[in-house]
Amino acid sequence: MHSDHNNIDDNGYESNRMSDEGSPMLMSPWNQSSPGSTTSPEDGLIGSMVREEGHVYSLAATRGLLYTGSDSKNIHVWKNMKLFTTFKSNSGLVKAVIISGDKIFTGHQDGKVRVWKSNSKDPRIHKRIGTFPTLFDILKSSMKSKNYVEVKRHHTTLWIKHCDAVSCLAIDEEEGLLYTGSWDKTFKVWKISNSKCLESVKAHNDAVNCIVSSSDGLIITGSAEGSVKVWKREGRGKNMKHRYMQTLLDQECAVNALVVSKSGSIVYCGSSDGVVNFWEELSHGGVIKGHKLAVLCVAVGGNLVFSGSADKTICVWRRVGSIHTCLSVLTGHVGPVKCVAVEKDVESSDKWVVYSGSLDKSVKVWRVSE
């Protein structure tokens, strides 16, 4: 546990010290009320969870549960800002977490995806129910030489295997597909029901950092090379192919994060120059500037957009048409904000609960109203 947080209980939860001098709540821009300010006092930092187990690289929220992946082998599950349970993967470093129905998918440094399910009788117990690719498929495909592709000079691997870290995950619920993006410059398409790899696409000339699945079978990928590309899914089953459609962005600066609005019509992209670009119906809508350093993550809730940055802050933007105005800046992390997730606040219809994971080894929880 951190020794420099004087208000942390056994669960690693930092209580909100409203009365303390210099509490993060009082110092935060949320509390600098101006005449006509609509920020209600309960907006801002709700709490902070600290686990002395390494940087928080990934998180996903569902129905009041928060799953966090770090550079330890543990995946932590939090409920009401207390540690609810932990399950262990033997492969270290969880780079990506995504939830679909009752399944949790985790992407790992070793190039594999692991699938978990919580026990219906005791939701604290999580069991690993699968790995992509399956051992069976690896053995089966290794029998035929045509299944090997060259990845580096004189080095071949099976096309169904990622030969570097899985950095990002996306799901197409309707089609039952999982998309995995990797530092090996490809993205792969998997049928969730049978764990089969349907296709591997050489997408970029550098690491794939982010991938999102949008409406109408569109897949959007972002890369360390500085590009954002759009792919269109055509055909089904064995005949499925993802065809390159267009490049939305081509710049020097690495692309670190992508998110699509719920309607699927707006795409946001965060990059290492500290800028968020956005597109409406795949045509460039403009740039949003609010960070001094790289934007590492983006999330959308209703008309709000959240961008987390290496400058340790999260900017909250409100979209009206194509105009984005900065509502506030969430401050409190002491390391880069690596991942952010948003859930509707169950207690209030116009509020959102925002989770942010940082390289300061903490996850913070914020309440933000539209």
> Tell me: the pLDDT tens digits for 171-203?
999 999 999 999 999 999 999 999 999 999 999
The answer to whether the beta carbons of residues 272 and 309 sit under 8 Å apart is no
Q: Which of 370, 359, 368, 362 is nearest to 66 (CA)?
A: 362
Give the separation between CA 113 and CA 243, rounded to whole angstroms: 24
Is the pLDDT at 277 greater than 90, yes or no? yes
Read off the pLDDT of residues 138-174 as tens digits, 9 standing for 90 and up: 999 999 999 988 877 778 889 999 999 999 999 999 9
- pTM for the model stands at 0.87
Is the pLDDT at 313 greater than 90, yes or no? yes
* 3-state SS, residue 135: helix
Read off the pLDDT of residues 89-114 as tens digits, 9 standing for 90 and up: 877 689 999 999 889 999 999 999 99
Residue 31: what pLDDT?
34
Residue 42: what pLDDT?
59
Residue 140: what are its φ and ψ, rounded to 5°? -65, -45
* Bridge partners of residue 150, in order along the sequence: 156
Give the separation between CA 224 and CA 216, rounded to whole angstroms: 26
Residue 346: what pLDDT?
85
Is the pLDDT at 55 greater than 90, yes or no? no
Mean pLDDT of 49-59: 85
The rounded mean pLDDT for the chain is 87
Residue 154: what are its φ and ψ, rounded to 5°? 60, 20
Give the separation between CA 56 and CA 355, rounded to whole angstroms: 11
Read off the pLDDT of residues 201-223 as tens digits, 9 standing for 90 and up: 999 999 999 999 998 899 999 99
Q: Which of 294, 363, 352 is nearest to 327 (CA)?
A: 352
- Whether the CA torsion 325, 329, 330, 334 is positive or negative: it is positive
